[in-house]
Chains A and B, each alone.
Chain A
Amino acid sequence: MERPIRVLVAKPGLDGHDRGAKVIARALRDAGMEVIYTGLRQTPEQIVEAAIQEDVDVVALSILSGAHNTLFPKITKLLKERGADDILVIGGGVIPEEDIPFLKENGIAEIFTPGTPTSAAIEYIKQHVNRAV
């Protein structure tokens, strides 16, 4: 029996709103995924703890504040420490092009910048999820 892909949609840092994260959460839901949404202003520790307890296949990070170069690598580092680096980590939000190579070096599999259709993220997840579905 096919099981749904489980995705944690998380917002690290001090963003003021989560409109984008809700749009992506909804799109993933409509693509048949189980989306765990944890709300605004999460610390990397909280996000990693939720990812572990929920045993997700994917962590989708959304950020607007500009702190991605600090927060994203911290999350992948913590996941690795917990032995959970088989979880696919992707990111989206207001992220300048020049920061993307650095983030990819630090374990973020893909970055989706503003204007990307949600279908691109869905397709990416379906193709790259590490654990057998």
Chain B
Amino acid sequence: MENLEELLIKGDKRAIARTITYAENYEDKAKEIIKKLYERSGNAYIVGITGPPGVGKSTLTDKLIKNLVDVGKKIGVIAVDPTSPFTGGSILGDRIRMQDLSQHPNVYIRSMGTRGHLGGLSKGTYMAARILDIAGMDYIFIETVGVGQSEIDIVKIADTVVMVLAPGLGDDVQAIKAGIMEIGDIFVVNKCDKEGADKTVVELNMMLDLDEKKDWRPPVVKVAAQENKGIDELIDKIDDHKSYLIESGTFQERRIERLKMEIIESIKNKLMKNIFDKIQEKEFSSRLQQVIDKKIDPYTFADELYKDVFN
């Protein structure tokens, strides 16, 4: 593809797609492009959409995009689904709920597999977000995998984290409050037309009221995404949170924190790639056999490998 960079700046979808592919495969081309165009980034507002599996994250994201596109915004979406730790394969199905919008000229949607990355995001998420930012998106929505208790990486990358829940999780709300419940800037009770929604809202509010120290008290928004109910209010709350971040100076702090994470992430990826490039599969297997035969122990083996790689 000629002039990938120029096309990327213009927001050409094919150029975005190819650059993100480079990013998720750790090809140096992605880094080269970001190096040249880094200055252009920093304008997109990043919203994380997270919550347990099946609460309606994709449907909610779809409605958010729809409402924002109607007022002329450019939207990039990164939807993460799990990769099988056994086969390396994955089924990325978030797009099903967003297919109507994907043809809109101002919308770009990309599905990513976690590819071994824990924490609810995929390996290339930071870079992919940076690329969408360079491509001129006003908003970037990052939808995490369905989370359990400790997948909180989204908080390190998003400006605003929207925690989506649904009625009927009951005591689960209590169970998860020590982990992921701490990261929501806004709470959504989706499927609020279902029984038990008000109870969930009350429980959430009670929990949030316990935390008096915070300057920002996360609001709880009732939404029925499928019926497009409560979406406008949610967008208002996202705007409120943005204003709060800017006025309190937290915005800058969060972005600096994100930069640190992006740098550390890049080092980690490079290290891992280096290590696995250097370790020869054959040699590894033959030496592993020695561990199996109890000629050496696993820790000596690991130390030796480490030495081989770094000397």
Using CB atoms and an 8 Å cutoff, list the residues of chain A in contact with chain B: 1, 3-4, 25-26, 28-39, 42, 45-46, 49-50, 52-55, 82-84
Complex Cα distance, B84 from A30, in Å, reads 8
CA distance A6 to B214 in the complex (A): 44
Neighbouring A residues of B40 by C-beta, 8 Å: none
Complex interface: chain A residues within 8 A of B99 (CB):
38-39, 42, 46, 50
Indicate whether B276 reaches chain A with its CB closer than 8 angstroms. yes
Q: Number of B interface residues, CB 8 Å? A: 34
Q: Mark B80-103, 1 if CB is under 8 A from A, else 0.
A: 000110011111110110010011
Chain A residues near B301: list those with CB within 8 A.
none
Q: Which of the listed residues B89, B95, B115 has the most CB atoms from chain A within 10 Å of its own CB?
A: B89
A37 with B93: CB separation less than 8 A: yes
Expressed in whole angstroms, the minimum distance between the Cβ of A89 and any Cβ of chain B is 17
Interface residue B111 (Cβ < 8 Å from any Cβ of A)? yes
Is the Cβ of A28 less than 8 Å from the Cβ of B276?
A: no
Chain A residue at minimal CB-CB distance from B96:
A39
Residues of chain B within 8 A of A82, CB atoms compared: 14
A53 touches B108 (CB 8 A): yes
Interface residues of B in 39-67 (CB under 8 A from A): none
Complex interface: chain A residues within 8 A of B25 (CB): 1, 3
Cα distance A9–B113 in the bound complex, in angstroms: 15
Q: A52: which B residues are within 8 A, CB to CB?
A: 13-14, 17
Contacts of A45 in B (CB 8 A): 103
**A53 and B87 in contact, given A1-B273, A34-B113 (Cβ under 8 angstroms):** no
Q: CB-nearest residue of chain B relative to A55?
A: B17
Whether the pair B90, A29 counts as a contact (CB closer than 8 A) is yes
- 13 additional contacts (CB under 8 A) given A1-B26, A38-B95, A49-B103: A1-B277, A4-B90, A29-B84, A31-B87, A34-B89, A34-B90, A35-B92, A36-B95, A37-B96, A39-B96, A46-B103, A53-B17, A53-B109
In the assembled complex, the CB of B268 is this many whole angstroms from the nearest CB of chain A, namely: 14
**Do the beta carbons of A31 and B273 come within 8 Å of each other?**
no
Q: Are A53 and B96 in contact (CB under 8 A)?
A: no
Chain B nearest CB: distance from A79 CB in Å?
Answer: 11
Report how far A73 CA is from B301 CA in the complex, Å. 56
Complex Cα distance A38/B13, Å?
18
Give the CA-CA distance A4 to B87 in the complex, in Å: 10
- Confirm or deny: B266 has a beta carbon within 8 angstroms of a beta carbon on chain A: no
CB-based contact B96/A35 at 8 Å: no
The answer to whether B21 has its CB under 8 Å from any CB of chain A is yes
Give Cα A53–Cα B135 distance, bound, in whole angstroms.
Answer: 13
Other-chain contact of A35, B13, B18, B90 (Cβ < 8 Å) = B90
Please provide the chain B residues from 118 to 157 with a CB less than 8 Å away from any CB of chain A in the complex: none
Whether B88 contacts A55 by the Cβ 8 Å rule is no
Q: Is the CB of A49 within 8 A of B102?
A: yes
- Identity of the chain B residue whose Cβ is nearest the Cβ of A48 in the assembled complex: B103
Taking CB atoms, residues of chain A closer than 8 Å to B93 are: 36-37, 39
CA distance A30 to B83 in the complex (A): 10
Closest CB in chain A relative to B180 CB, distance in Å:
26
B110 within 8 A of A: yes
Quote the shortest CB–CB distance from A113 to chain B (angstroms).
Answer: 24
**What are 19 A-B interface contacts by the 8 Å CB criterion?**
A1-B273, A1-B277, A4-B89, A4-B115, A30-B87, A34-B89, A34-B92, A36-B92, A36-B111, A37-B91, A38-B95, A46-B99, A54-B110, A54-B111, A55-B17, A55-B18, A55-B20, A55-B21, A83-B1
Q: Is B89 within 8 A of A28, CB to CB?
A: yes
Of listed A52, A53, A54, A82, residue having the most chain B CB within 10 A: A53
Q: Which A residues are CB-close (under 8 A) to B90?
A: 4, 29, 34-35
CB distance from A7 to the nearest CB of B (A): 10
Interface flags for B153-192 (1: CB within 8 Å of A; 0: not) read: 0000000000000000000000000000000000000000
